Chain A
Amino acid sequence: MLTQPRPIRLKGRSYLALTLTPELPFEDWLARLDDLASRSAGFFLRRPVVLDITGLDIDRAQLRTFVSQLGSRQVRIMGIEGASPSLLGSDLPPAMADGRPTSDFEPPAAAAEAATAEVAVAEPVMPDLPKAVPSIIVTQPVRSGQSLVFLEGDVTVVGSVASGAEIVAGGSIHVYGTLRGRAMAGTMGNAAARIFCRKLEAELIAIDGYYKTAEDMGPEFRGKPVQIWLDGETFKVEALA
């Protein structure tokens, strides 16, 4: 018998994957892919790749052959988008949906290829510059029923967050008012995110998938200005002066 079962944590996490949209006939498209790969060796190596076959009229055997053809070129398919369920089976990568577009991947030297065909060596890759952490500031109260989702970084609310409203942030959450609704910080797997508010009346707080409801929070910090952070698997709450 299980006493005190430890719940399994289910967390969402998003990754950047390369999406390939093949065209028919596959032979021609694979030839173009080989051409690209020859100019930038190892471009697909170890990269997660999603295959988008929306609108392609192919059967299951064709798809399986195509995936294995890609496999022989070191292109590993982690998921298939836009396929009808009947097309996919246990021998094929799982279906994926609801992908959100980001900036295009730049295949090395491919863009400049037309103009400077004779340049064979890829340009040196720019070193990663430190990026500013994005954040948004909301100057109006967040009303009941409203959901403010900002997975890229911090959310600052100059005003209150009403009961029945929710803030979902990839980074920290700052509320210059009363926090009555839900605040979920560090939802993209950031355990260092914190929640700050001028008056704590929250229905639920969560950091990096760990959550606490109002009932579990205890009365000592209710109505107080606090900061909340995660120490391992426990919440720490501290009154702010």
Chain B
Amino acid sequence: MGKVIVVTSGKGGVGKTTSSAALGAALAQGGDKVVVVDFDVGLRNLDLVMGAERRVVYDLVNVIQGEAKLTQALIRDKRVETLYLLPASQTRDKDNLTTEGVAAVIGALKANFDWVICDSPAGIERGATLAMRHADVAIVVTNPEVSSVRDSDRIIGLLDSKTLKAENGERMEKHLLLTRYDPLRAERGDMLKVDDVLEILSIPLLGIIPESMDVLRASNIGSPVTLADQGSAPAIAYFDAVRRLKGEQLPVTVPGEKRGFFGKFFGRKAA
């Protein structure tokens, strides 16, 4: 049985889709079988970021409504053969997602993949709540600024109340992925500090992804940053996040922070 991860945030534009693709690609490169599911019905983007937009035939809504089989809708990545995409529909809206339909699709994917990554839409409505409903693990994507942090806090509240795990009285495993972290702005003090974000959200930190042109460039060529430029700072940060997700104890380094003498030798080893 695979693990279901929801990548969520509440706020839009913080990097959910980019992170879903990057984490999915990083996991798949380790040999695990991964499917990334786009839940943003009506505003799909994951296909673009993963460079599969010209290969979409069927989508999640088709599968839920019985118009296509799951195997017909899954798109295998051309670069990593254990990476799959289940695209969202662009022409339908989120009302087409039924609770039972989503449960059936997630159940089938869980049986066939090691990781099922659900890319949640922004907001706290139907699409977002259905994306998180069946998750085993939640990755809360947050930017170091107040509105994003507050929205993430709201989402964490929903993760603890509106998911199957919560309803069964279990605890949802939650991780914080701090994205678009700009060392220069942090130095000037116009961004929330990492410690402040952690204090407010009080969930464990999975990683800090630096703001970088590499991410934008990768998106534009339709490739997750962990595939397009594996040596870039954001890619390294995503690879580290994946190792932590798999349970490895790896200290998180804040981008741009000066390392101590030993840090110069050992801080890099994670790459």
Interface of B is mostly: helix
Chain B residues with a Cβ under 8 A of chain A:
124, 146, 150-151, 153-154, 156-158, 160, 199-200, 202
Q: Chain A residues near B146 (CB, 8 Å)? A: 163
Q: Chain B residues near A22 (CB, 8 Å)? A: none
**B200 CB contact (under 8 Å) in A140, A145, A146, A160:** A160
B199 and A164: CB pair below 8 A?
Answer: no
A159 and B202: CB pair below 8 A?
Answer: yes
Give chain B nearest CB distance to A114 CB in angstroms.
43
A178 within 8 A of B: yes
B157 and A144: CB pair below 8 A?
Answer: yes
Query: Please, which residue of chain B has its CB at the minimum distance from the CB of A140?
Result: B160
B157 and A143: CB pair below 8 A?
Answer: yes
Q: How far is the CA of A228 from the CA of B160 in the complex (A)?
A: 31
Chain A 134-150 near chain B by CB (<8 Å), digits 1 or 0: 00000011011110000
A146 and B157: CB pair below 8 A?
Answer: yes
Q: Chain A residues near B157 (CB, 8 Å)? A: 143-146, 165
A50 within 8 A of B: no
Query: Please, which residue of chain A has its CB at the minimum distance from the CB of B156?
Result: A143
Extra contacts, 20 of them, besides A164-B153, A178-B199 (Cβ < 8 A), are A140-B160, A141-B202, A143-B153, A143-B156, A143-B160, A144-B151, A144-B153, A144-B154, A145-B124, A145-B153, A145-B154, A145-B157, A145-B158, A160-B199, A162-B150, A162-B200, A163-B146, A163-B153, A164-B154, A180-B200
Q: Chain A residues near B124 (CB, 8 Å)? A: 145
Q: State how many residues of chain A have any CB contact under 8 Å with chain B.
A: 14
Q: How far is the CA of A164 from the CA of B200 in the complex (A)?
A: 12
B154 and A143: CB pair below 8 A?
Answer: yes
Q: How far is the CA of A160 from the CA of B158 in the complex (A)?
A: 17
Q: How far is the CA of A165 from the CA of B150 in the complex (A)?
A: 10
Q: How far is the CA of A188 from the CA of B124 in the complex (A)?
A: 32
Most buried by B among A140, A143, A165, A180: A143
Q: Chain A residues near B150 (CB, 8 Å)? A: 144, 162-164
Give chain B nearest CB distance to A198 CB in angstroms.
12
Q: Chain B residues near A145 (CB, 8 Å)? A: 124, 153-154, 157-158
Give chain B nearest CB distance to A18 CB in angstroms.
36
Q: How far is the CA of A143 from the CA of B124 in the complex (A)?
A: 14
Q: How far is the CA of A178 from the CA of B124 in the complex (A)?
A: 25
Q: How far is the CA of A58 from the CA of B160 in the complex (A)?
A: 48
Q: How far is the CA of A140 from the CA of B201 in the complex (A)?
A: 11
